[in-house]
Amino acid sequence: MKDFQFVVLWSDVLFAVLIAALVAGVSFAMRREHLRRAWRGVFSRPSAMASLVILLCYLAVAIIDSVHFRPALEQKGDPAAGAKVVYSVEVRSLLDVVLADMRETSEKSYSEPFAAYLYEKQVMEQPDGTQKRDYPRLKYGAAHLQDPENERAADIAGRLVKAFAIGAALWLLALAVLARGVGKRQGMDLKTAAIAILRGRTAIAWDGFAWALLVVLLFGSALFTLSGPYHVFGTDATGNDVLYQTFKAMRTALMIGTLATLVVLPLGIGLGIAAGYYGGWVDDAIQYIYTVISSIPYVLLIAAAALMMQMVIEGRSDLFDTAAARADARLVSLCVIIGAISWTTLCRLLRAETFKLRELDYVQAARCFGVSNLRIMLRHILPNAFHIVLITVVIEFSALVLAEAVLSYVGVGVDPTTFSFGNMINKARGELAREPAIWWSITSAFVFMVSLVLAANLFADAVRDAFDPRALTPLRRRLRLGAAK
């Protein structure tokens, strides 16, 4: 009997395509010296390497949360005798298995971070039969403590010490592996390489990577150590763990930021290069299209298109066998809508760059030799304008993540059953108006969303400086100084 049935959602397929494209892009860049030189410039900045650690952590969570399955229900008959295996309609992911302690420890209602009691008073029946309004104990949070008021601080401190010890041990192991690799390439022993890394004496800013990794491992170890006996970020109105919702929202944020590029890239690249290369009526038509799109308010246009797609999805509910499939269809449609509207900036930049490139000697020579227009655009124009594509994509990523939060806030974003930072912020509107205010849900969404957007912006700044020919001088100086040390 199979204990589960794999479920493949459209977003999982598209995300796998993006991961494959990323791996292919890395492999392609490693074989081109000019690309390797530019990426060395990116990785020579400590802020970029520190941001890379955070982005990789979000990516790892998103990948784990993209493997979906349906668990088998308990069967009364014998499967070996021909009884049909029935699977649950609830779709889970590997992240649900990893975070089972958070997922299955639901309380009755709100509770503060690290609380042992509910946030609101309730009528409780006393042993003598009388009733009293008081704060009831949580079913799971701090349930192992007999006297939470006196024991909680010491218990948390003890668990933090153990968590930091585990995080530090993992960091030392990772540092040893990294130092071994660096030392092997530069002819240094393990200790010398480790010191060079931590003091920033390498051409690649491994110091930023190492120190950021230390912070992530300490913070992650603390979260996972404390999330078992406590609700680290409290619970929401239905008693669900807020930290669990935050981890689940990471995948949605990355999906919005990355899947939209599948639509942005072909539209922006194809139309931008075509407008700049052909000119004439082709350029006029493409300019007219993106001028009309840009003249409509961004949020209003996306909201109108999202509402239309929402009506289509709800009208064809027979096409979706689970609620997760319907929510995933709405997520993918939102990515398509955002991408179909966000290509105009990339198109403008590539159009202007193509106007310059088409007049260069090697393009004119290719025309004289009878090379087709399509081959010229693919082999001569696009490779020399690809730095604009890369810079635009990494810069627009954070804008796409924030767009989901804004759209969900106004009620036209992802499905309400989908965990996202936007939905968490939307729910917090009423919670902040309470007395006393429920502050921990919006704080959790704010901290993790800002960390993702900030890391993306810092990494985008490094990419922009490295691939902009006018900004390479300081990065080359950093490389020379690192090599000299």
Give the start-to-end residue ranges of the domains of the chain.
4-226, 245-484
Give per-residue pLDDT as tens, 332-377.
888 888 888 888 888 998 998 898 888 888 888 888 888 888 888 8
Of 184, 183, 187, 185, the residue nearest 197 (C-alpha):
183
Give per-residue pLDDT as tens, 141-179.
888 888 888 889 999 999 999 999 999 999 999 999 999
Of 142, 169, 347, the residue nearest 264 (C-alpha):
347
Q: Quickly list H helices, 410-439.
A: 421-432
Assigned token pair, 158: 């003890």
**Is the CB of residue 464 less than 8 Å from the CB of residue 387?**
no
- Conformation bin of residue 129: beta by default, left when phi > 0, alpha when psi is -120 to 50: left
Give per-residue pLDDT as tens, 66-120.
998 888 877 665 555 556 777 778 888 999 999 988 888 888 888 899 988 888 8
In the structure, how many helices (H) and strands (E) does the chain have? 19, 5
Give per-residue pLDDT as tens, 283-309.
899 999 888 888 888 777 887 887 888
Give per-residue pLDDT as tens, 462-484.
887 787 655 544 445 544 544 44
Characterize 288-319 residue by residue with b for buried, 16 or more Cβ atoms within 10 angstroms of its Cβ, and e for exposed: eebeebeeeeeeebbbebbeebbeebeeeeee
Say if residue 137's pLDDT is above 50: yes
User: Locate tokens 């779709």: which residue?
Assistant: 91
User: Locate tokens 């999202």: which residue?
Assistant: 306
Assigned token pair, 369: 């030799």
Assigned token pair, 53: 């650690």
Report d(CA 11, CA 252) in Å as an integer: 10
Q: What is the structure's pLDDT at 475?
A: 47
Q: How confident is the model at residue 50 (pLDDT cuts 50, 70, 90)?
A: very high
Alpha carbons within 13 angstroms on the beta-carbon side of residue 118 total: 20
Question: Could you count the other beta carbons within 10 Å of the beta carbon of residue 323?
Answer: 15
92-93 and 68-71: which strand pairing?
A: antiparallel
Report d(CA 47, CA 45) in Å as an integer: 5
**Is the CB of residue 344 less than 8 Å from the CB of residue 23?**
no
Residues 6+ apart with CB under 8 A from 255: 11, 15, 62, 331, 335
Find the helix or strand (DSSP H, E) in which 93 lies: strand 92-93
Q: Is 1 helix (H, G, I), strand (E, B) or coil?
A: coil
Q: What is the DSSP track for 12-81?
A: HHHHHHHHHHHHHHHHHHHT-HHHHHHHHHHHTSHHHHHHHHHHHHHHHHHHHTT-EEEEBPP-SS-GGG
Report d(CA 292, CA 408) in Å as an integer: 25
More confident residue, 425 or 413: 425
With vertex at residue 435, the alpha carbon angle to CA 229 and CA 113, rounded to the nearest 5 degrees, is: 15
**Is the CB of residue 186 less than 8 Å from the CB of residue 204?**
no
Mean per-residue pLDDT, 220-245: 90
Say if residue 254's pLDDT is above 60: yes
Question: Could you count the other beta carbons within 10 Å of the beta carbon of residue 33?
Answer: 8
Q: What kind of fold does domain 245-484 have according to CATH?
A: MetI-like fold (1.10.3720)
Q: How confident is the model at residue 485 (pLDDT cuts 50, 70, 90)?
A: very low
Residues 6+ apart with CB under 8 A from 237: 109, 110, 427, 431
Q: How far apart are the first and last CA of the chain?
A: 62
**Is the CB of residue 306 less than 8 Å from the CB of residue 323?**
no
Supply the DSSP symbol for 188. Answer: -
Q: What is the structure's pLDDT at 392?
A: 83
With vertex at residue 430, the alpha carbon angle to CA 425 and CA 434, rounded to the nearest 5 degrees, is: 125
More confident residue, 55 or 464: 55
